[in-house]
Structure formats: structure tokens, C-alpha cells
Amino acid sequence: MSFAIIAVFTVAGALAAMTLRNLVHCVLALVVAFTGLAGLYLQLGAQFVGFAQILVYVGAVAILIVFAMLLTQSHEPLAHLTVAPGWVTSSLVAVAVFVILAWSIRSSAVGARSIQPRPEITVRNIGDSLMSQFVVPLEVTGLLLTAALVGAVTIAMREQRMNR
């Protein structure tokens, strides 16, 4: 029951994010989709990932997109055509991708899997494995984030310096 409600919210948010004309409305719909996904994670018992999803996507990525939108003055409703020329082919491709995915999910053996009893995942478990088994990916992610930070600042700054 709650799964159906959350799923409808998530898909509706995603659809609205891709179809609305006003960009800010798109971002707000995107936030609904992100929150719905966090709800699905919580239902699946991944509490930490669910809260991290809200913290990162709603608190950071959505705000970042909004800032970019205001800085590029694309927050006004669009007057002209909003879709790319080859939109019929593109949407057909997307529908085909969904049909193939859905068909393969339906026909795969994964549906027969029975659910295991809910594992006792504490934050301590996650921290322990982050610091032991997954320490290399963690360091690489840290490096990547630092590089992305420096890179983003450089890219966004460069043009301004040349103009001066």
C-alpha cells in the first residue's frame, strides 16, 4: 500500500520534472522524485542511504541546480519550442529501452527470490566496512570530490578572468 503511494509520487515527480515548461517547476518536481526515492530506500531497509539521499540530493544538488538556473537566467518560462528537433525518435528510443528492461525484468528469475529477514544494519557496520573493506573506494571518492571542487571553481571562474 505505502509502496504504491510512494511509487506513484516518485514516477509522477520524475515525469513532471521532464515535461514541465517552467524550469523551476521542473526542479521542484525533481525534488519530489528524489524524496520518493529516499522513501523507497527506507522501505527497503537502507536507512543510511535514504537520509544521505535527502541530504545530498535535496539539500545540495537541487540547490546547486537552482543556483545555476538563476545565474544563467533560464528561470523564466520558455516562450519558444522546448523540445529538440528529433524528439519523436528520442522518445521512441526511451520507450524501447523501457520495454526491453521491463521485459527482461519480467522474464528473469529475480522475481522468484524470497526476501531475507531484515538485516541488522547499523551505522557502525557501515562505518566499519567503509574504513576496512571499502577504504580504497572511499579515498578515491574523496579525491574525486576534491578534484571536482577545484575543477568546478576553475571552469566557472576562467571566463571572468579573461574578460577583465
Partner 1 sequence: MTETMDQIFVLLKHRILAHSPVSVQPIFSAALSAIAILVVFATLFALTTILERKGLGRFQNRYGPNRVGPFGLLQPLADGLKSLTKEDIVPHSADGVVHMLAPIVLVVAAFLGYAVLPLGRNMTAINLDAGLLYFFAASSVVELAIFMAGWSSRNKYSLLGAMRAIAQMISYEVPLILSTITAVMAAGSLSTGAIVESQTGYSGIWPHWFVFTPWGFAGFVLFMIAGIAESNRSPFDLPEGESEIIAGYFVEYSGFKFALFFLGEYIGMFAICGLAITLFLGGWAAPFSFLTWAPSYFWFFAKLLVLIAMLIWVRATLPRLRMDQLMNFAWKFMLPMALINLFAASTWHFTPPGAIRWIVGTILIAVPYLLLGRGLMQSNKLEKRTYRFAD
Partner 2 sequence: MTTPVNYLLISALIFAIGLAGALVRRNAILVLIGIELMLNAANLNFITFWRYSPNPEALTGVMFALFSIGVAAAEAAVGLALIIAVYRHFNTTDLDQVDSMRG
Q: Using CB distances below 5 to 8 A depending on partner kind, what does residue 109 bind out of partner 1, partner 2, none? A: none
Binding span for partner 1 by CB under 8 A among 19-27, 78-86, 93-101, 102-110: 19-27
Distance of CA 3 to the CA centre of its chain: 19
| Helix (H/G/I), strand (E/B), else coil: 55 | helix
Binding span for partner 1 by CB under 8 A among 4-12, 22-30, 133-141, 145-153: 22-30
**Those residues with Cβ within 8 angstroms of residue 118's Cβ, 6 or more apart along the chain or in another chain:** 45
Residue count, binding to partner 1 (CB under 8 A): 23
Quote the CA–CA distance of 57 and 41 in Å, as a whole number: 14
By CB under 8 A, tell whether 5 contacts partner 1.
no
**Residue among 99 and 150 whose Cβ is closer to partner 1:** 150
**Exposure of 37 by Cβ count < 10 A (0-12 exposed, 13-18 middle, 19+ buried)?**
buried
The minimum distance between CB 145 and partner 2, in angstroms, equals 5
- Distance separating the N- and C-terminal Cα atoms of the chain: 59
Quote the CA–CA distance of 98 and 92 in Å, as a whole number: 10
Quote the CA–CA distance of 137 and 41 in Å, as a whole number: 22
Q: Using CB distances below 5 to 8 A depending on partner kind, what does residue 21 bind out of partner 1, partner 2, none? A: none
Quote the CA–CA distance of 74 and 76 in Å, as a whole number: 6
The minimum distance between CB 158 and partner 1, in angstroms, equals 21
Q: Using CB distances below 5 to 8 A depending on partner kind, what does residue 12 bind out of partner 2, partner 1, none? A: none
By CB under 8 A, tell whether 52 contacts partner 1.
yes
Q: Which spans of this chain sit near partner 1 (rule: CB under 8 A)?
A: 22, 24-25, 28, 31, 47-48, 51-52, 54-55, 58-60, 62-63, 66-67, 70, 75, 122-124
